[in-house]
Structure 1
Amino acid sequence: MATDQPKKIIIDTDPGIDDAMAIFLALRSPEVEVIGLTTIYGNVYTTLATRNALHLLEFAGRTDIPVAEGSHVTLTKGTKLRIADFVHGADGLGNQDFPPPEGKPIEESAAAFLVNQAKSNPGKVTLVALGPLTNIALAIQLDPDFTKNIGQIVILGGAFAVNGNVNPSAEANIFGDPDAADVVFTSGADILVVGINVTHQVVLTGSDREKLASSNGKFAQYLHKILGVYFSYHSEAYNTNGVYLHDPAVVLAAVDPSLFTYIEGVVRVQTSGITRGLTILDNKQKRFGEITEWSNKPTVKVAVTVDAPRVVKLVMDRLMDS
């Protein structure tokens, strides 16, 4: 309805080619108002994630949007062992060697920025988490009221009842900081999780990429350029001429939750051993006689289906008309 105020969103991000696409998509979505980006390691190290976030906003002509730099280490102070430069290029943006951004991140840390934005707009801010969940876990530790103040947290993470994409058990964002993920999932916040079991159904094909190339939209042109590396990776890893739209799909889950269906249950994360990063949902189909590690914990919503054609069409329409 035209009278609705756009939903305020903060995107916690590790840009990343599909993050770039997701950020541009959010900026092109009238239903939401991006009030900040917070950065995290994942596809790249945190310092580069911040540089890329500033660069993307400068390219989009949106230097009014603040960027808050996030944690450089995991919740348990571990260092980032694995970055996905083989997926996104050494610069995280398809090896295009963009000039350094002119802007700087704000003084506030990502966790403090999240806490303060939620506090000043209680119930009104949706947090879209596209990387490991360290900043969000830190915000929860920083302010016991954060989970009540934040409107909703929409998370790209997990692989529910399918293989992961780092190894057979773990999806990359959860694997990046399993301890943080377990803190967030059991925090009692209003959480919507979209795992790769769903985002792998959302595919941008080679012919979609050609459509971007032939469009006059400046975002479309930019994305066509950076997508080369991402297509090569998918071709090698998955033997497909298409790329998964993980991050854009999750932005659209924040824009229009009706594009997905969900089940509700308790999610716990395995934090050690060979299945470190595994997400296990108690789907409530059995009443267990035993007290388990899932008992009496807050529930979250987990996406189970997606209207993939509608998601891809929205992504294409909004990015081409830019």
Structure 2
Amino acid sequence: MAMAMETTTTTTRRKIIVDTDPGVDDALTIFAALLCPEVEVIGLTTIFGNVPTAKATKNALGLLELAGRTDVPVASGSPCTFTGEEKLRIADFVHGDDGLGNTGELKPPPTATELGVSASQFIIDTAEKHPGEVIVLALGPLTNLAMALKEKPDLALHSIVCLGGAFRVNGNVNPSAEANIFCDPEAADFVFGGSVDMHVIPLDVTQRCVFSNMDLDLLEAKGGTLGKYMKDISQFYADFHKTTYNLNGLMLHDPTAFIAIVRPDLFFWK
């Protein structure tokens, strides 16, 4: 884990690309980032993980439509790992078949479409447009970033904030593996070996950050249309946490990684 980032203020809004595999907690994070005055979401890139890449792209477009932010571009990522293997394992038992709690088709359906460039190329192009300014918030496997860094090893990102790994706790795929690293370990190895500053948010931290069922009720009551939607998609995810961990709520894996961008002072960094 890298040195702590400087505290973000509204006068120095961080430009972020969210590399995502939506995913219930991805959706919560995307909405939080879009509503947060401290950051500017300048793009979403999609990757397999919770769902296949094509579904991740569809979900990303739909979430932006629901949030009224179709101005945010979406670039679809690789359907395969860094070494070219097709990924068949998805986390439908955690997030539902659709990745969004089996809540059905997003309404209204997305009017925007994905960009005509790959996720890795979008990351390269955006970093070149804003050298040293862009943070990539990596919420899924690191495949897109690995491909971007392979193409351009001196990629001028500000940093990468990565949800991944389990250092002093068991993994969530097996005792030694966390899901994002497990899905594409070669990509993770390549990115960790690169020159871009890395800020890793592991399960050691995220499993301690819990959104209770009472919090979900409050979100529904106070959060308007988006709050109700977030409560609805979270029910399947909360049921998984109850069955698996006997937890009355849900672990905020992806949102915790986002919080590390906005409030790095809340974390100890090594």
Query: If the length of structure 2 is used for normalisation, what is the TM-score?
Result: 0.94
CA offsets per residue over residues 69-121 of structure 1, 9 Å max, x none? Answer: 00000001111131001111110001111244222100010000000101111
Q: Structure 2 CA distance, aligned partners of 1:234 and 1:244? A: 8
Per the alignment, in what secondary structure is the counterpart of residue 63 of structure 2? Answer: helix
Q: Corresponding residue for 2:3?
A: none
CA offsets per residue over residues 16-46 of structure 1, 9 Å max, x none? Answer: 0000000000011101000000000000000
Alpha-carbon deviation of 1:239? 1.2
1:91-240 equivalence runs, <5 A: 91-99=98-106, 100-146=109-155, 149-240=156-247
Moved over 4 A (4+): none
Q: Structure 2 CA distance, aligned partners of 1:171 and 1:81? A: 17
Q: Name the aligned partner's letter for residue 135 of structure 1.
A: N
Report the more deviating stretch, 248-257 or 207-216: 207-216
Q: Structure 2 CA distance, aligned partners of 1:251 and 1:226? A: 19
Identity, in percent, stands at 53
Q: Structure 2 CA distance, aligned partners of 1:128 and 1:2? A: 18
Q: Corresponding residue for 1:311?
A: none
Per the alignment, in what secondary structure is the counterpart of residue 85 of structure 2? Answer: coil
Structure with more contact order per residue of length (Cα contacts < 8 Å, sep ≥ 6): 2
Q: Structure 2 CA distance, aligned partners of 1:90 and 1:50? A: 15
Q: Structure 1 CA distance, aligned partners of 2:81 and 2:150? A: 13
Higher gyration radius (CA)? 1
1:1-322 equivalence runs, <5 A: 4-99=11-106, 100-146=109-155, 149-263=156-270
Contact kept? 2:154, 2:195, Cα under 8 Å: no
Q: Name the count of aligned residue pairs.
A: 261
- Higher fraction of strand: 1
Q: Structure 1 CA distance, aligned partners of 2:247 and 2:153? A: 45
Change (3 A) 1:142 1:209: same
Instruction: Give unmatched runs, 5+ long, in structure 2.
Output: 1-7
Contact kept? 2:10, 2:38, Cα under 8 Å: no
Q: Name the aligned partner's letter for residue 103 of structure 1.
A: A
Per the alignment, in what secondary structure is the counterpart of residue 149 of structure 2? Answer: helix
Q: Corresponding residue for 1:313?
A: none
CA offsets per residue over residues 121-169 of structure 1, 9 Å max, x none? Answer: 11000110000000000000111221xx000100000001210000101
CA RMSD for the aligned pairs? 1.2
Change (3 A) 1:187 1:10: same
Per the alignment, in what secondary structure is the counterpart of residue 42 of structure 1? Answer: coil
Per the alignment, in what secondary structure is the counterpart of residue 268 of structure 2? Answer: strand
Contact kept? 2:242, 2:248, Cα under 8 Å: yes
Query: If the length of structure 1 is used for normalisation, what is the TM-score?
Result: 0.79
